[in-house]
Amino acid sequence: PRTSVYTDNPLFLDFTSPMKDCGLVGALYTADPSARVWNIDGRDVLYVYASHDLEPPRGCDYMDRYHIFSTEDLVNWTDHGEVMNAATSNAVTGIGSDGFMWAPDCGYNPADSLYYFIYPHKLSNVEDVWGIFVATSRTPAGPFDPKGYIKGVPSVIDPCLFVDDDGQPYIYVGGGGKGCWGGKLRRDDWTKLDGEMKQLGAFEDFHEAPWVHKYNGKYYLSHSDNNFENNHLRYSVADDPLGPYTPKGVYMLAHGHDTTHGSIVKFKDKWYQFYHTADYSGRGNLRSVCFDELVYNPDGSIAMVNTWGE
Ligand code: FUB
């Protein structure tokens, strides 16, 4: 049994992990969690920006909306509701497909005091081209105002934002057989690139789901691999946000079906790995968000994440 944000079922209420009471967000299938911590009025609040798998599952073309969840204690969770969907995004931006809204992320830009919610969405129903769309808000859970997509980002899924200590924002995308790409965003306006994105190299068995965080002055880029049937999570380390990255191997074993996708975040002095499984539904495209503690070894390597509550 696993720790899970999705506890509205006997499977997750029964488990033996010390984090067994980790929360209840209701009867929603959620995936691709990007966990972020924002300081709101002097309090650290953890937000989860997640994809939404819909019932009945039709496949990945039937993901067209997002929910956001927040917590201050990893026990009590607030579902902020459906904060974006294809109909709204398409109506405002004048572009977009009927479905295909995959793994999102969110960042806060102090330069304009806006939260930037970014989401991969196909540009139309006929072309197989993805855009990384942006919607902004004055508050971390919306309402979000769709702004269109970031010109110059390649047609690649799974965007991730990273802001370095000097305030420089970066964007990463990766997946669909096109590798992992990274580049800078304009500090004053995160709807625009600062220069061109480049393909980042030297990863080990890169599949999708890049996530960048910083630990002890090093840049860690985690991602899923191509492990047969479902994916392990691996990570690489670099001295610069855009690499070159050195592969460090697997740090979380495969879970659920079809995909593994996660984020690493520090919250109140501990680090956590957020991810999803399909354990509850038993179906790869009806996933549930989970999290477990993530521990660094003294040498900076990441210990295998214990996702079994043992
Ligand atoms: O949820 C849709 C896609 O499946 C994501 O973008 C991938 O990372 C995989 O989790």
The closest residue, in CA terms, to atom 9 on ligand 1 is 259
CB 171 within 8 A of CB 186: no
Average pLDDT estimate for 39-55: 92
Cα(275)–Cα(287) distance, integer angstroms:
10
Structure-token pair, residue 155: 């047609």
Radius of gyration, CA atoms only, the chain: 18
Mean pLDDT of the chain: 88
Question: What is the tens place of the pLDDT at every residue in 216-274?
Answer: 999 999 999 999 878 999 999 999 999 999 999 999 988 766 789 999 999 999 999 99
- pLDDT for 279 equals 72
Question: Which residues line the pocket of ligand 1, CB cutoff 6 A?
Answer: 31-32, 51, 60, 63, 102-103, 157-158, 208-209, 259, 261
Please choose, from the candidates 40, 28, 50, 9, the residue with its C-alpha nearest in 3D space to the C-alpha of residue 291: 50
Q: Is the pLDDT of residue 144 over 80?
A: yes
pTM for this structure?
0.93
Instruction: Say which range, 163-167, 192-196, 250-254, 295-299, has the weakest mean pLDDT.
Output: 250-254
Average pLDDT estimate for 194-206: 95
What is the CA(32)–ligand 1 centre distance, in A? 6
What is the CA(294)–ligand 1 centre distance, in A? 22
**Active-site residue set:** 32, 208
What is the CA(234)–ligand 1 centre distance, in A? 16
Cα(4)–Cα(1) distance, integer angstroms:
9
Specify the 3-state DSSP secondary structure of 42: coil
- Name which residue leads in pLDDT, 14 or 250: 250
What is the CA(63)–ligand 1 centre distance, in A? 10
Question: What is the tens place of the pLDDT at every residue in 15-40?
Answer: 333 333 333 344 578 889 999 999 99
Residue to mutate, 53, 61, 121, 157, ligand 1, most ligand atoms under 8 Å from C-beta: 157
Q: What is the DSSP letter of 284?
A: T
Which atom of ligand 1 lies closest to the CA of 157?
6
